[in-house]
Amino acid sequence: MVEDYYAYPDAHGRFGAYGGTFVAETLIAPLDELKAAYLRLRDDPAFQREFADDLKHYVGRPSPIYHAKRLSQQNGGAQILLKREDLNHTGAHKINNTVGQALVARAIGKQRIIAETGAGQHGVATATVCARFGMQCVVYMGAVDIERQKINVYRMKLLGAEVIPVTSGSQTLKDALNEALRDWVTNVADTFYIIGTVAGPHPYPMMVRDFNAVVGREARAQMLEQFGRLPDVLTACVGGGSNAIGLFHAFLNDREVRIVGAEAAGEGIATGQHAASLAAGRPGVLHGNRTYVLCDDDGQITETHSVSAGLDYPGVGPEHAFLKDSGRAEYVGVTDDEALAAFHLLCETEGILPALESSHAVAQAIKLARELPKDKLILCNLSGRGDKDVHTIAKREHIEL
Amino acid sequence: MSGRIEMRFADLRTRNRAALIPFITAGDPLPEATVAVMHALVEAGADLIELGMPFSDPMADGPVIQHADERALRNHVGIADILGWVREFRLRDDATPVVLMGYLNPIEIHGVERFARGAVAAGVDGVLIVDCPIEEDAALQPLRAAGLARILLAAPTTTDARLARALEAAEGYLYYVSFAGITGAAKLSADAIATRVSGMRRHARVPVAVGFGIKDAASAGAVAAFADAVVIGSALVDRLAGAGSPGDACRRARDFLLPVREAIRESGENP
């Protein structure tokens, strides 16, 4: 039984059995430097003030909680509330983290920024803060993802970033992460690596969580103010898990709030064509941390599938692995088809076009709502907007634009 | 511990020559060529062999070894195959130390204790796990317990305090990564690292090997002048890549390694 979920990670970056620092020797020193800098800045009121100020005036926070009444009514069960991260500058929660990490990079004097990206949202959010601070920006992106997220690739270029296609392995997010790590190990003296999710070696899972935790802190206060109580259930999509941990974190010690993460079940977990690391994977080591991974019996990481590039990842943040094992959170699969159906339903009932990633969370909220009475409140993290996915959806539904 | 690594370095010390350590990826370019290539490398002057265990996500490796891993994995090369090849190699060679090099996930999924038992039984002498630094040593404790040498890395970014810890904990030899980067990247500057390696050798209980960036006879000779061992990997793997048969692979291995060994001999004998 975990007494206090805020006691994690420990000094070694461990969330129970998960997390840690599984990297090559060359990266230990820069990670130690980053950890020292971040711990200092975390307790520095001036830094926190500047971060809060940027979140308010640049990102546009707080994001509202919106009661999706028609969706709830049509669905016929509990009330679905949406935390509108899609209304942030650049269109997703990803900007919370990149604003924070750019401030850290500036504080330790690094002028060259690298990032990996899957759907392109983190790449765009990184290119955005680099433009704002006049920093050089290099984004690694799998060649497959470049094809499915052309609009975001162009956005990054408009923002002055260099987008480098990654053609190794499955040519998706995990390979972009490998390539970014290779760049970092080579250019470690002047380069800051802005990881886009709560994975990677310590201190990234902690730091990225802290920067996204504003989502849950806001949501908790908004719930008390707007509804006079906490939600009954939280749900969010989980790829690497940064938007999910961002929402969940402020509620971890509120044991009465049920927490459900929605992973990408792709064409169905039974088909093997999915990216549900927690629901269908096993503990292993990938990209610098111990966590649940999707791999074969030889320990080779397997290729994943999801209609949404942002969830197409064979690992997951170590804190989610810890929350799963401790029983604090449940993780379930949502298929491509279910996510697509939720996408259309939200468009048609509420006039909100969600990202394909976030559509997984919406689908899960719809499922949960059906099982619960009308007076229950489900808070769903609408982590991003779907403009970037319009081409993917049209193509999937055989529509020529 | 098997003692092969210690015996080999002790022998080389009496001859005042640096060790030559070629690296190949197990199962590449042809699974049936691995054992034959290991013997060919020994015939051409290898003092110790590092055998890479392929991994789907080799984040510390450059494109050459990454592609070698991909080729090996297309042939479904796994730990059982690799241990089998070491066992077969040992039938004809009981003296040349063999070190397995790879990433943690395949070993953990195989089972660390099971891996340790299998490796010892096959005749493996040491293990170098790239993504398991000294902070995460607990993960590999069963390897030490089984008597396998835990080879540790040091890098240009390693602080003096950490280096002292690594020198204390290192078994077999300490692998010094000559520059911050991935395998097979830029050419190294021997002069720049000579001072640091010489300093490390004064404090080390184990020999200090230098790898990354050593591409040919000239760079190997330059490093051999101040290191206990020279590791050469990507350039060799690249040479083997196009081999069409085990015989062809052995020929390529010998042709590559002979001049490298010549350069080391000269530099050791005329310091």
Output the pLDDT for position A193.
Answer: 98
**Which of B78, B135, B153 is opposite residue A298, by nearest beta carbon?**
B78
The verdict on residue B190 lying in a domain is: yes
Residues of A in contact with B57 (CB under 8 A): 169, 174-175, 178, 286-287, 301
Domain span including residue B21: 3-266
Residues of A in contact with B140 (CB under 8 A): none
Residue of B nearest to A314 (CA): B57
Residue type, A55: L
DSSP B117: H
Chain B residues within 8 angstroms (CB to CB) of chain A: 55-60, 62-63, 66, 70, 73, 76, 78-79, 103-110, 130-133, 135-136, 139, 152-159, 162, 177, 180-182, 185
Pairs of residues, one from chain A and one from chain B, whose beta carbons lie less than 8 Å apart: 124
* Pairing relationship of beta strands A65-67 and A79-84 according to DSSP bridges: antiparallel
The verdict on residue B79 lying in a domain is: yes
**Which of B56, B139, B162 is opposite residue A28, by nearest beta carbon?**
B162
> Which candidate, A337, A347, A342, A340, places its Cα nearest to that of A364?
A342
The verdict on residue B161 lying in a domain is: yes
The verdict on residue B13 lying in a domain is: yes
What tens digit of pLDDT does each residue of A76-93 get? 999 999 999 999 999 999
Tell me the backbone φ, ψ of residue A95, rounded to 5 degrees. Answer: -65, -30
Determine the Cα–Cα distance for residues A276 and A352; give it in Å rounded to an integer. Answer: 26
CB A228 within 8 A of CB A255: no
Cβ A186–B55 below 8 Å, yes or no?
no
Dihedral over Cα of A183, A188, A194, A197: its sign: positive
Could you tell me the CATH number of the domain that includes residue B74? 3.20.20.70
Output the pLDDT for position A92.
Answer: 96
**Which of B56, B177, B185 is opposite residue A169, by nearest beta carbon?**
B56
Does the predicted interface ipTM exceed a cut of 0.85?
yes
Tell me the backbone φ, ψ of residue B24, rounded to 5 degrees. Answer: -130, 155
**Which of A22, A177, A295 is opposite residue B132, by nearest beta carbon?**
A22
CB A369 within 8 A of CB A396: no
- pLDDT by position in tens, chain A (length 401): 788 999 999 999 999 999 999 999 999 999 999 999 999 999 999 999 999 999 999 999 999 999 999 999 999 999 999 999 999 999 999 999 999 999 999 999 999 999 999 889 999 999 999 999 999 999 999 999 998 788 899 999 999 999 999 998 888 889 999 999 999 999 998 999 999 999 999 999 999 999 999 999 999 999 999 999 999 999 999 999 999 999 999 999 999 999 999 999 999 999 999 999 999 999 999 999 999 999 999 999 999 999 998 999 999 999 999 999 999 999 999 999 999 999 999 999 999 999 999 999 999 999 999 999 999 999 999 999 999 999 899 999 999 88
Residues of B in contact with A285 (CB under 8 A): 103-105, 108, 131, 139
Residues in chain A: 401
CA distance, residue B260 to nearest chain A CA (Å): 26
The verdict on residue B172 lying in a domain is: yes
The verdict on residue B271 lying in a domain is: no
Cβ B130–A24 below 8 Å, yes or no?
yes
Output the pLDDT for position A148.
Answer: 78
pLDDT average per 10 residues of sequence, chain B (271 residues): 90 95 98 98 98 96 94 97 98 98 98 98 98 92 96 94 91 92 74 88 93 92 95 97 97 98 71 40
Determine the Cα–Cα distance for residues A129 and A112; give it in Å rounded to an integer. Answer: 12
Output the pLDDT for position B271.
Answer: 40
Say if pTM beats, i.e. exceeds, 0.90.
Answer: yes
Residues 6+ apart with CB under 8 A from A150: A391
Determine the Cα–Cα distance for residues B128 and B174; give it in Å rounded to an integer. Answer: 10
The verdict on residue B114 lying in a domain is: yes
Question: From residue B70, how far is each of A160, B27, B258 by CA, in Å?
Answer: 34, 10, 28
Residue of A nearest to B108 (CA): A284
Output the pLDDT for position B270.
Answer: 43
DSSP A56: I
> Which candidate, B139, B136, B135, B130, places its Cα nearest to that of B101?
B130
* Pairing relationship of beta strands A136-142 and B49-52 according to DSSP bridges: unpaired
Determine the Cα–Cα distance for residues A186 and A183; give it in Å rounded to an integer. Answer: 5
CB A6 within 8 A of CB A253: yes
Is A281 at the interface with chain B, CB within 8 A?
no
The verdict on residue B75 lying in a domain is: yes
Question: From residue A128, how far is each of A205, A232, A309 by CA, in Å?
Answer: 22, 36, 20
How many domains does chain B contain in total?
1
